[in-house]
A and B are shown apart, each in its own frame.
Chain A
Amino acid sequence: MSALTDILHLLLTANLWQATLAAAVLLLLPALGGTISERSGVVNIAMEGMMLTGAFFGVVADLAWHNPWLATGVAMLAGALMATIHAVVSIQFRADQIVSGIAINIAAVGLTVFLLNRIYGLQDVGHVGASNLLPNINVPGFDQIPFFGKVLFQQNVIVYVALVLLVLTHLVLFRTRLGLRIRAVGEHPQAADTAGINVFAIRYGAVITSGLLSGLSGAFLAIGISNTFVPNMTDGRGYIALAAMIFGKWTPFGAFVACLIFGLGQAIYDNNSIIHVSQYLLSMLPYVLTLIVLAGLVGRSTPPAADGLPYVPGSE
Chain B
Amino acid sequence: MNDQSLAVEMRGVTKQFPGVLANNKVDLGVRRGEIHALVGENGAGKSTLMNILYGLVHADSGEVLINGKAAHIAGPRDAIGLGIGMVHQHFMLIPVFSVGENIMLGREPVTGPGFYDHARARTAITELTRRYGLALDPDARMGDLPVGLQQRAEIVKVLYRGADILILDEPTGVLTPQESKELFGVLRDLVKSGKTIIFISHKLKEVLEISDRITVMRRGKVVGHLITKDTNEEAIATLMVGRAVLLRVDKAPAKPGGVALEVENLTANSDQSVPALKGASFVLHYGEILGIAGVEGNGQSELMEVLAGTRRATGGQVLLAGRDITTMDANTERDAGVAFIPEDRRGTGLVLSFSIAENSILGRERTPTFSWRHFVLNLIAIRNWALKLVKEFDIRTPSIDVAVRNLSGGNQQKVIVAREIGSNPKVLLAAQPTRGVDIGAIEFIHRQIVRERDNGAAVLLVSAELDEVRSLSDRIAVMYEGRIVSIEPPDTPEERLGLLMTGGGAREGAA
Contacts and interface: CB of A to CB of B under 8 A. Distances in A.
B97 A195 contact: no
A181 interface: yes
A314 interface: yes
A190 B92 CA distance: 7
B212 interface: no
Interface stretch (A25-33, A126-134, A171-179, A218-226): A171-179
Interface string B276-303: 0000000000000000000000000000
Which of B96, B105, B110 has the largest number of chain A CB atoms within 10 A? B105
Contact of A196 (B101, B106, B116): B106
Interface string A166-203: 00000000011111110110011011111111000000
Interface string B92-112: 111111000110111110100
B114 A195 contact: no
Interface in B109-159: 110, 113-116, 157
Given A194-B88, A195-B76, A176 B105 contact: no
B105 A197 contact: yes
Contact of B110 (A177, A183, A192, A313): A177
Given A181-B105, A192-B106, A176 B115 contact: yes
B56 A195 contact: no
B355 interface: no
A316 interface: yes
Interface string A223-252: 000000000000000000000000000000
Contacts of B76: 193-196
B95 to A, nearest CB: 8
Interface string B41-55: 000000000010010
A188 B93 contact: yes
Contact of A195 (B89, B91, B106): B106
Contacts of A179: 116
Contacts, number: 77
Interface of B is mostly: loop
Interface size class of B (residues with CB under 8 A): 20 to 34
B90 A180 contact: no
A175 B115 CA distance: 6
Contacts of B51: 314
A188 B106 contact: no
A216 B286 CA distance: 74
A314 B56 contact: yes
A195 B88 CA distance: 12
Which of A180, A193, A305 has the largest number of chain B CB atoms within 10 A? A180
A178 B114 contact: yes
A187 B94 CA distance: 7
A197 B116 contact: no
Nearest to A193: B76
Contact of B116 (A180, A193, A305): A180
A194 B86 contact: yes
A193 B56 CA distance: 9
A191 B94 contact: yes
A176 B113 CA distance: 8
A196 B75 contact: yes
B54 A194 contact: yes
B80 interface: yes
Interface residues of A, number: 23
A235 to B, nearest CB: 36
B266 to A, nearest CB: 31
Interface in B435-482: none
A195 B54 CA distance: 11
A191 B114 contact: no
B57 interface: yes
Nearest to B96: A187
A139 to B, nearest CB: 26
A191 B101 CA distance: 12
B77 interface: yes
Contacts of B91: 191
Contacts of A187: 94-97
B60 to A, nearest CB: 14
Contacts of B56: 193-194, 313-314
A188 B114 contact: no
A181 B94 CA distance: 11
A177 B107 CA distance: 9
Nearest to A179: B116
Contacts of A191: 91-94, 102, 105
Nearest to B104: A180
A295 B80 CA distance: 44
A93 B135 CA distance: 43
Interface string A301-316: 0000100000001101
A106 to B, nearest CB: 30
A180 B105 contact: yes
B106 A176 contact: no
B300 to A, nearest CB: 26
Given A192-B105, A192-B106, A194-B92, A184 B116 contact: no
Contacts of B113: 176
A181 B114 CA distance: 12
B90 A316 contact: yes
Which of B51, B54, B94, B113 has the largest number of chain A CB atoms within 10 A? B94
B114 A177 contact: yes
A195 B75 CA distance: 10
A295 B102 CA distance: 31
B82 to A, nearest CB: 12
B120 to A, nearest CB: 12
B116 A175 contact: yes
A187 B86 CA distance: 20
B72 to A, nearest CB: 16
Nearest to B81: A196
Contacts of B97: 180, 183-184, 187
A188 B110 contact: no
Contacts of A190: 88, 90, 92
Contacts of B107: 195-196
Contacts of A178: 114
A177 B94 contact: no
Contacts of A313: 56
A195 B116 contact: no
Interface in A267-316: 305, 313-314, 316
Nearest to A195: B106
B46 to A, nearest CB: 14
Given A180-B105, A184-B97, A314-B51, A195 B115 contact: no
Contacts of B106: 181, 192, 195-197
B204 to A, nearest CB: 24
Nearest to B169: A316
Given A176-B116, A314-B56, A195 B96 contact: no
Which of B89, B106, B108, B115 has the largest number of chain A CB atoms within 10 A? B106
Given A184-B97, A190-B90, A196-B77, 10 more contacts: A177-B110, A177-B115, A178-B114, A180-B108, A181-B105, A188-B92, A188-B93, A191-B91, A194-B56, A197-B106
23 contacts: A175-B116, A176-B110, A176-B115, A176-B116, A177-B114, A179-B116, A180-B97, A180-B101, A180-B108, A183-B94, A187-B94, A187-B95, A188-B92, A191-B102, A192-B105, A193-B56, A195-B107, A196-B80, A196-B106, A196-B107, A305-B95, A314-B57, A316-B90
**7 nearest interchain CB pairs?**
A195-B106, A191-B92, A196-B77, A196-B106, A195-B105, A177-B108, A176-B114
